[in-house]
Each structure stands twice: as structure tokens, then as C-alpha cells.
């Protein structure tokens, strides 16, 4: 399918979540840790345009049921998000900074 050819095509599954205008997602992570029990099983995506971390809750079928935006005031393009074995969330910015989210 060529870019700009349309948003639907026979045989293609449509997305469950769409951002218009785009947040320009940069990475995707499913939180599996226990440090932030309120985030367990939620999807984390960095936003390059709106400069925040987007957290989407999904139900058992994979449908989005909630959405939260954090760190909007940081003013940084979020490039990558990971979780370590202990459950801490780390993210990097375009300027090369690395941050860690902590439950404190």
C-alpha cells in the first residue's frame, strides 16, 4: 500500500487506537513490574511530537479502555522506554538524557 493511499484496505485489520493528530509514538513497552501496580499490563509509548509518555490500559481483548499522559511538563521528546528486572521504568530523550521513574 502506498503512503497516502487510504486508511482502510481489504484484508487489513484496523488499529485499536489512533491518534489524530499523531503523537509520533517512538517506542512501545508493556509494563510487567510490581513497583507500579497501577500500571501492570499497560502499554507505554513515548511521544515525540507532544513530548510526554502515553500510558494506555487495555482489556482482555486488547481494546484500549483508559489513557494517561505523564511528564508533559518535562518538555522533552521521549525516544525509548524500557523496564528493568526490578520494575523501574527508564526512558531516554532526543538530547541523550536518561531518566528513571521511581514510585517515591
Segment 21-56, tens digit of pLDDT: 889 999 999 999 999 999 999 999 999 999 999 999
pTM for this prediction: 0.85
Cα angle, residue 18 at apex, residues 83 and 16 outer, rounded to 5°: 75
| pLDDT grade for 85, boundaries at 50, 70 and 90 | very high
Residue 17: its pLDDT value, please? 86
Q: What is the mean pLDDT of the chain?
A: 92
Phi, psi of 41 (to 5 degrees): 85, 0
Residue 68 scores a pLDDT above 80? yes
Average pLDDT on 2-24 reads 82
pLDDT higher than 60, residue 1: no
pLDDT at 6 exceeding the cut of 80: no
Rounded Cα gap, residues 68 and 101, in angstroms? 15
Amino acid at each position: 500500500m502506498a503512503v497516502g493511499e487510504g486508511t482502510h484496505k481489504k484484508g487489513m485489520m484496523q488499529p485499536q487506537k489512533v491518534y489524530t493528530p499523531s503523537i509520533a509514538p517512538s517506542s512501545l513497552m508493556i509494563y510487567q513490574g510490581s513497583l507500579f501496580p497501577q500500571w501492570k499490563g499497560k502499554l507505554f509509548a513515548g511521544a515525540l511530537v507532544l513530548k510526554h509518555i502515553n500510558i494506555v490500559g487495555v482489556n482482555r481483548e486488547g481494546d484500549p479502555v483508559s489513557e494517561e499522559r505523564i511528564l508533559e511538563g518535562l518538555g522533552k521528546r521521549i525516544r525509548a522506554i524500557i523496564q528493568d528486572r526490578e520494575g523501574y521504568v527508564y526512558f531516554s530523550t532526543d538530547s541523550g538524557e536518561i531518566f528513571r521513574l521511581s514510585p517515591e
